[in-house]
Amino acid sequence: MNALVAKDELRGAMARFHTRSYARGLFVAVVDWGACALVLFLISTHPRWTIALPLSIAQGMLIARAFVLGHDACHGALFPSRAWNRAVGRALFLWTLTPYTLWEFGHNSVHHGYSNLKTRDYVWTPFSPDEWRRLPRWRRALERLYRSPWGFGFYYGLEIWWNRMFFASLFSMSSFRVSYLWDNLLNASFTAAEVAAVWRWAPHDQRWSIIVFGFLLPFAIWNYLMGFAIYCHHTHPDVRWFDSRAEWSFYEAQVCATTHTTFPWGFNWFMHNIFEHTAHHVDTGIPYYALNDAQQRLEQLCGPDIVRVEIFSLRAFRAQMRHCQLYDYRKHRWMRFDEAA
């Protein structure tokens, strides 16, 4: 397919997968939101760690799933109505203290608008070897942590949620300031109501334990899962990054530099098909339940231009993490940290 006309052709082919439904969207939103509320209630009323710990892990996965659904609503892919998408998206984001306004701008406009363009996209953007050599020692150590199997949660929590979402600088938002403040007030009020309810339900001698299992551990798990997911989406030995707008294009970024990772045990299904990511980048209006068919159709259309389907395995993923640490933007190749020394 000709890359110069790919954008219109591909989006035209994807248009038939815009099967948004009020009934289906509302049903799954209620199920996801209700599951998070139910598990929090169970943690509060069954505070013994042998019960609370597995429930806490489940809660972290459930709020990650609810967040992915909210992400779809924020793209306008869950309901035919913009108002419904905004209302339900905000409700689903409550569990993660994510301000809808800033996510809509930072994710939809910046990340999707300029995927893998270093000067604009800020999601897992790799340092060049020259930049790496100029970094202070503490920042190198932090980057090594981020790009290790233990660092995904730290990366998302610090670089995305802390720096660009909940505690984003007011001076960088201009017209988003008022909406951002209202979104954060809504999120903070919801969390305060959660804590107050837990304080009432929980046995007096178990309240602080429940704060850990009901809030802190699920929040950490959600950060880890999100950091892992977005790492998989745009980091791969075959994925190219750009620091020049002249080299960058829609086709290079959305089709060739976005991966499709398959997982066992229904993990992708549980995460609302977020790893069928190439189709999502080509057309963000496709609802999660149509992404599988859209991805298959896209791979038929583009063939070898698509970054190959990555069948996830721990061995291959560890090798990928060792290889994809820095990026040479002139030679377009990934490098290890020790190669830059």
Cα–Cα distance, 204 to 202 (Å, whole number): 6
Cα–Cα distance, 295 to 277 (Å, whole number): 8
Give the mean pLDDT of the chain: 89
Identify the band that residue 4 occupies on the pLDDT scale cut at 50, 70 and 90: very low
Q: Where are the domains of the chain?
A: 6-340
Identify the band that residue 176 occupies on the pLDDT scale cut at 50, 70 and 90: low
Asked whether the predicted pLDDT for residue 205 surpasses 80, the reply is: no
Do the Cβ atoms of 216 and 153 come closer than 8 Å?
no
Task: Tally Cβ neighbours within 10 Å of residue 237.
Answer: 12
- Cα 318–chain centre separation: 20
- The pTM for the full model equals 0.92
Number of helices and strands (H, E) in the chain?
16, 4
| pLDDT score for 12 | 83
| pLDDT score for 15 | 86
Asked whether the predicted pLDDT for residue 141 surpasses 60, the reply is: yes
Name which of 144, 28, 142 is nearest 78 in CA terms.
28
Helix (H, G, I), strand (E, B) or coil at 79: coil
Cα–Cα distance, 324 to 127 (Å, whole number): 11
pLDDT in tens, 242-281: 998 888 888 888 888 889 999 988 999 999 999 999 999 9
Q: Copy the structure tokens of residue 143.
A: 């980057």
Asked whether the predicted pLDDT for residue 107 surpasses 80, the reply is: yes
Proportion of the chain above pLDDT 90, given as a percent: 65
Rounded to 5 degrees, what angle do the CA atoms 248, 71, 239 make?
Answer: 30
Q: How far is CA 242 from CA 51, 68, 73, 90, 232, in A?
A: 48, 27, 29, 33, 18
Asked whether the predicted pLDDT for residue 34 surpasses 90, the reply is: yes
| pLDDT score for 1 | 47
Identify the band that residue 14 occupies on the pLDDT scale cut at 50, 70 and 90: confident
Asked whether the predicted pLDDT for residue 171 surpasses 60, the reply is: no
| pLDDT score for 20 | 93
For the residues of 237-289, what is the DSSP string, one character each? Answer: TT---BS-TTT--HIIIIIIT--BEE-STTHHHHTTTTTBHHHHHH-TTS-GG
| pLDDT score for 270 | 96
Bridge partner residues of 260 (DSSP): 276
Asked whether the predicted pLDDT for residue 232 surpasses 60, the reply is: yes
